[in-house]
């Protein structure tokens, strides 16, 4: 089968949870299919090349600063991505798999599927209503963006959502038939995690860790404030923030302003997943303060590694994720951090681990085989 992926931010040239998720799908499907990946040309990418069995087709040079401006996705780069996808029209694909963001590319993809009689699988990680679009872009552009999303998101052959919350919002806000919605998010490299767990038997550090895109919605200002209070209660505690993004400079400045440079370390993303998993396995816990999150891949990975996760009670994470973690009111979090880091039994802070099954990379082939069968394709 010939499969096209269309994403503007490709892993590992751009590190992020959703990027890793769609790369995991493409990599697994490439073992038994002809998989092509159409994307913007990030630094160190060639125009056409093979990587991990996937054929990459790139266009329009970009950098992170160009794609993310003022803490938001660039409309200009979204337009370039949309027009660049006409590169697909030189090929005949059985199915196109793409994300709902950045929205403006969807007419190009749908036109391709109509002309080529291809199937469309739309992956949805977050569902924004009009109120959130207005907050993100302002009332004028927000109203237009919500209207375009409502128009373009419909009529895919199948939708793959990352959580029950996303699936329910997709069905209610855009009136998508629930029979066309599949919940699956291959975000956990279970084979690699098994190797890391089996190879590590040492004591855990008294470290609170975070990893992710450094954007305002992750609330790293609150994260630093909570960890600072925990350090005051127990001076041996350390904090580690792993990531990159538009808020890097302000986060670094805040750490320095509070005199925490020796207590909270700011690190770039790890180049190798194995090294990152080892760091997670050594850490005492994860603190995740995000106020906008469709899935929280780092949370699932942490639980799979036996590292407990602390969430605020306002967390937007879905029930199947939240149920595996410890949830506290923000004012009680510093004390909870001290308790969790001082406890030798980390297992008691992790529950309902059976929910991890729906996030395992090893399930990509069986899940997509069922999807392809349901939309009339032979895998």
Distance CA 76, CA 66 (A): 9
**What would you report as the CA-atom Rg of the chain, rounded to the nearest whole angstrom?**
21
Q: Mean pLDDT throughout 339-349? A: 92
Residue 68 C-alpha from the chain's centroid: 16
Helices (H), 217-272: 220-233, 248-257
Q: Mean pLDDT throughout 353-361? A: 85
What's the angle, vertex CA 125, arms to CA 114 and CA 106, rounded to 5?
25
Look over the chain and give the mean of its residue pLDDT values, rounded to a whole number.
Answer: 93
Whether the CB-CB separation of 343 and 349 falls below 8 Å is answered with yes
Q: Mean pLDDT throughout 34-53? A: 97
Residue 328 has pLDDT above 80, yes or no: yes
Residue 352: what pLDDT? Answer: 82
Q: Mean pLDDT throughout 254-273? A: 94
327-334's contacts with Cβ under 8 Å and 24+ in sequence apart are 330/222, 330/226, 333/226, 333/230, 333/287, 334/226, 334/227, 334/229, 334/230, 334/232, 334/233
Residue 379: what pLDDT? Answer: 67
Q: Domains in the chain, start-ordered, CATH in brackets?
A: 2-186+360-374 (3.40.50.2000), 190-356 (3.40.50.2000)
* Coil, strand or helix at 176: coil
Percent of the chain with pLDDT over 90: 75
- Kindly state the tokens that stand for 80: 């370039």
- Kindly state the tokens that stand for 320: 């199947």
With cut-offs at 50, 70 and 90, classify the pLDDT of residue 278.
very high
Residue 365: what pLDDT? Answer: 95
Q: Which of 15-19, 163-167, 299-303, 368-372 has the lowest mean pLDDT?
A: 15-19
Residue 14: what pLDDT? Answer: 87
Distance CA 339, CA 237 (A): 11
Q: Which of 41-55, 76-90, 281-295 has the lowest mean pLDDT?
A: 281-295
Residue 51 has pLDDT above 70, yes or no: yes
Q: What is the pLDDT of residues 159-218, one digit of tens each?
A: 999 888 899 999 999 999 999 999 999 988 889 999 998 887 777 899 999 999 899 999
């Amino acid at each position: 089968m010939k499969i096209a992926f269309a994403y503007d931010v490709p892993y590992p040239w751009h590190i992020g949870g959703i990027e890793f998720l769609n790369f995991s799908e493409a990599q697994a499907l490439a073992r038994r299919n002809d998989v092509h990946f159409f994307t913007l040309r990030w630094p160190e990418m060639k125009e056409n090349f093979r990587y991990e069995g996937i054929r990459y087709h790139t266009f329009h040079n970009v950098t992170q600063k160009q794609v993310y401006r003022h803490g938001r996705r660039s409309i200009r780069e979204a337009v370039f991505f949309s027009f660049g996808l006409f590169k697909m029209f030189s090929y005949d694909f059985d199915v196109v798999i793409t994300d709902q963001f950045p929205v403006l590319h969807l007419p190009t993809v749908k036109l391709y599927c109509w002309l080529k009689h291809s199937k469309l699988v739309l992956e949805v990680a977050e569902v924004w209503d009009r109120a959130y679009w207005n907050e993100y872009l302002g009332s004028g552009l927000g109203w237009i963006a919500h209207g375009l999303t409502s128009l373009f998101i419909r009529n895919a052959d199948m939708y793959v959502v990352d959580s029950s919350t996303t699936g329910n919002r997709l069905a209610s806000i855009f009136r998508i038939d629930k029979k066309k919605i599949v919940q699956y998010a291959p975000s956990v490299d279970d084979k690699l995690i098994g190797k890391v767990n089996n190879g590590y038997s040492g004591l855990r550090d008294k470290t609170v860790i975070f990893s992710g895109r450094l954007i305002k919605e992750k609330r790293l200002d609150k994260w630093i404030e909570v960890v600072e209070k925990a350090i005051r209660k127990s001076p041996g505690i350390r904090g580690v923030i792993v990531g990159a993004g538009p808020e890097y400079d302000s986060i670094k400045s805040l750490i320095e302003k509070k005199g925490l440079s020796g207590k909270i370390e700011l690190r770039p993303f790890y180049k190798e997943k194995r090294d990152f998993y080892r760091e997670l396995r050594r850490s005492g816990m994860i603190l995740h303060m995000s106020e906008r999150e469709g899935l929280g891949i780092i949370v699932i990975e942490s639980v799979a590694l036996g590292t407990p996760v602390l969430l605020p009670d306002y967390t937007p994470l879905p029930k199947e994720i939240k149920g595996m973690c410890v949830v506290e009111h923000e004012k009680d979090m510093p004390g909870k951090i001290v308790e969790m880091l001082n406890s030798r039994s980390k297992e008691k802070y992790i529950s309902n681990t059976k929910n991890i099954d729906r996030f395992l990379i090893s399930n990509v082939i069986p899940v997509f085989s069922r999807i392809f069968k349901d939309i009339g394709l032979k895998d």
